[in-house]
Structure 1
Amino acid sequence: MRIARVSKAGRIGLAAKVDGEIRVVWDSELADLDAKIAEGSLAAAGKAAADGEVVDEALLNFLPPVTRPSKIVCMGLNYRDHAEESGFDIPDFPVLFGRFPSSLMGHGAPIILPKISRQLDWEAELAVVLSKGGKNISEADALDHVAGYSVFNDASLRDYQMRTPQWTAGKNFDDTGAFGPWLVTPDEVPAGASGLKIECRVNGNVMQSSNTGNLIFTVANTIHLLSTFMTLEPGDVLVMGTPGGVGVARDPQVWMKAGDICEVEIEGIGLLSNRVVAE
């Protein structure tokens, strides 16, 4: 099942991709995937959307798959090549930081280049949305807690990120957390969304190219480890880290600028595309 929250002419609906067509039911309650996940009715919502009207994708605005997660837990340095290019040791425990829902935006929406920084960088990432929570979840059971997978661009303002030892400021500018367009259920991809090509392109130029099989901490391992010290909840989002190739690690450094098109694509999950717009 592949579903997305969409809007058109002020209406909000739930879309499903069925045999190459996009079908939509215009019902904001049905499209409240935060609530559907919490209720355990995500599958029923997707089935309803699959019976909706056929709509041209070009007419739709895509919204983030969820907007009210209790937690957005992001992984740092979770690909060996990214840790090495960043000058850090390979972690033996996940490097974690938080994003806030206020930073999220959807496929096709602009990434905002703020007036106060010009060091806007890309980060192609796999996103995991949890279907159910828990504490002390075993690694063997962890994937049973996944509602679906999506694509994330953890766009970062590097000067603000590196201003202090923790990264919160540079990771939470408004309209920098691009997320979507599709939420893809686990039956559509390999276990843990492993073994999928992940790529970032800026203006068509490949900047990052790797495979989700290269994650240091897998999806199952991450869910298990997080649950040893925090209670996970339905709708929580895990953002699994980025591979090597970020702009800050290049010589000379490369930053996104107004007018750039940044695409993040994960095999079998989808293509997330956003234009950079100056504040």
Structure 2
Amino acid sequence: MEQPTFIRFTLAGEQRSRFGLINKHGVVDLSQRFASRWTSLDDMIADNALSIVAAEAAEMAADIAIDAIRYEPPLISPGKIICIGVNYPNRDAEYQDNKESAAYPSLFIRFPESLTGHQQPLLRPPESEQLDYEGEIVLVIGKAGRRIAQSDALNHIAALTLGNEGTVRDWVRHSKFNVTQGKNFYRSGAIGPGLVPYHDASQIADIRLTTRVNGETRQDDRTCNMTFSFAWIIHYVSTFIPLQVGDIIFTGTPTGAGARLNPPQWLKPGDVVEVSAEGLGTLRNAVRDEE
């Protein structure tokens, strides 16, 4: 991790999830140290406490070794999971066929069960071999609001993380105006490794986002090239639905997904997908068939 990162995790032989912070020493078990104050990262976000605890725990001695934990998706009970489609110019060009770019993004939702954690397997369903990857930067909302002004929008972010917006391509084409099925196969996508507290716009204004498959770079772009900015996305989404604490927004993926390669290259068991961004670390998942 490039900076202190909040995680949710389990230990071998335990069913209950813990939450902690990875610093340069290892994993600080915040669920033990702060048990009387919070029971989850969800609670810490609701109390606007991430930055305070990050500063306090940055130099704490580790309670657990990193290789002893099993990562879980950071939030136990995320709110809405909203995904922005076609949000990088080259990606947009893949869909436009020389038409003008759309004035608004495509939006769709994911369900929590469609996502797994860092270093956990992405599941290829038996119904299709067309499992694809989409590396993205993900926003976690920490301040509720409706019709949020762009000038104030970034102040509503509690934390940042990474996502692999895994997609079963043939199932997104089952209907002309509906992609929900192909975007929600069980554990077909991932989120993590953990939550990096949001401080200011420089964290996301112009950072590099890449996706590698088996070490080969497939996606590579910068956030300064996004068609719809982070602030604009928050403003736009909050216009039609109130954003609540714990809502999650996947902000779009660059060009280079497997579906657009010639020939298409679908993920198969044994493949390893790594989504990386400056300051946010790397989200890593191997692919296996769903049993």
TM-score (norm 1): 0.93
Kindly indicate whether the alpha-carbon contact (under 8 Å) linking 2:90 and 2:254 is maintained by their aligned counterparts in 1: yes
Q: CA deviation at 1:67?
A: 3.4
Aligned equivalents of 1:222, 1:192: Cα separation in 2: 17
> Sequence identity, in percent?
35
Q: CA deviation at 1:190?
A: 4.4
- Of 242-251 and 86-95, deviating more is 86-95
2:71 is aligned to: 62
| 3-state secondary structure, aligned to 1:82 | helix
1:74 is aligned to: 83
Kindly indicate whether the alpha-carbon contact (under 8 Å) linking 1:21 and 1:54 is maintained by their aligned counterparts in 2: yes
2:9 is aligned to: 6
Aligned residue pairs: how many? 278
Listed as ranges, the matches of 1:252-271 within 5 Å are 252-271=263-282
Aligned equivalents of 1:150, 1:14: Cα separation in 2: 15
Q: CA deviation at 1:100?
A: 0.8
Aligned equivalents of 2:106, 2:76: Cα separation in 1: 24
Kindly indicate whether the alpha-carbon contact (under 8 Å) linking 1:192 and 1:220 is maintained by their aligned counterparts in 2: no
Listed as ranges, the matches of 1:1-279 within 5 Å are 1-9=4-12, 10=14, 11-19=16-24, 21-27=26-32, 30=38, 32-43=40-51, 45-46=53-54, 50=58, 51=60, 53-87=62-96, 89-164=100-175, 165-187=177-199, 190-191=201-202, 193-279=204-290
1:205-232 C-alpha deviation (Å, 9 max, x unpaired)? 1111111111111111111111111111
Q: CA deviation at 1:2?
A: 2.1
Kindly indicate whether the alpha-carbon contact (under 8 Å) linking 2:150 and 2:235 is maintained by their aligned counterparts in 1: yes
Aligned equivalents of 1:114, 1:265: Cα separation in 2: 25
Aligned equivalents of 2:217, 2:25: Cα separation in 1: 26
- Of 52-61 and 238-247, deviating more is 52-61
Kindly indicate whether the alpha-carbon contact (under 8 Å) linking 2:31 and 2:40 is maintained by their aligned counterparts in 1: no
1:42-70 C-alpha deviation (Å, 9 max, x unpaired)? 34554675546342211111111113222
Could you say what the CA RMSD is over the residues aligned between the two structures, in angstroms?
2.0
- Of 32-41 and 100-109, deviating more is 32-41
Aligned equivalents of 1:197, 1:85: Cα separation in 2: 21
Kindly indicate whether the alpha-carbon contact (under 8 Å) linking 1:15 and 1:49 is maintained by their aligned counterparts in 2: no
Aligned equivalents of 1:24, 1:90: Cα separation in 2: 47
Change (3 A) 1:40 1:186: closer
| 3-state secondary structure, aligned to 1:242 | coil
Kindly indicate whether the alpha-carbon contact (under 8 Å) linking 1:208 and 1:243 is maintained by their aligned counterparts in 2: yes
- Of 25-34 and 70-79, deviating more is 25-34
| 3-state secondary structure, aligned to 2:17 | strand
Q: CA deviation at 1:192?
A: 6.0
Unpaired stretches in structure 2, ≥5 consecutive residues: none
Aligned equivalents of 2:156, 2:61: Cα separation in 1: 28
Kindly indicate whether the alpha-carbon contact (under 8 Å) linking 1:209 and 1:243 is maintained by their aligned counterparts in 2: yes
TM-score (norm 2): 0.89
Q: CA deviation at 1:182?
A: 2.0
Change (3 A) 1:31 1:161: farther
Aligned equivalents of 2:173, 2:39: Cα separation in 1: 37
Aligned equivalents of 2:102, 2:61: Cα separation in 1: 46
Unpaired stretches in structure 1, ≥5 consecutive residues: none
Residue identity in the other structure for 1:184: V
Kindly indicate whether the alpha-carbon contact (under 8 Å) linking 1:207 and 1:245 is maintained by their aligned counterparts in 2: yes
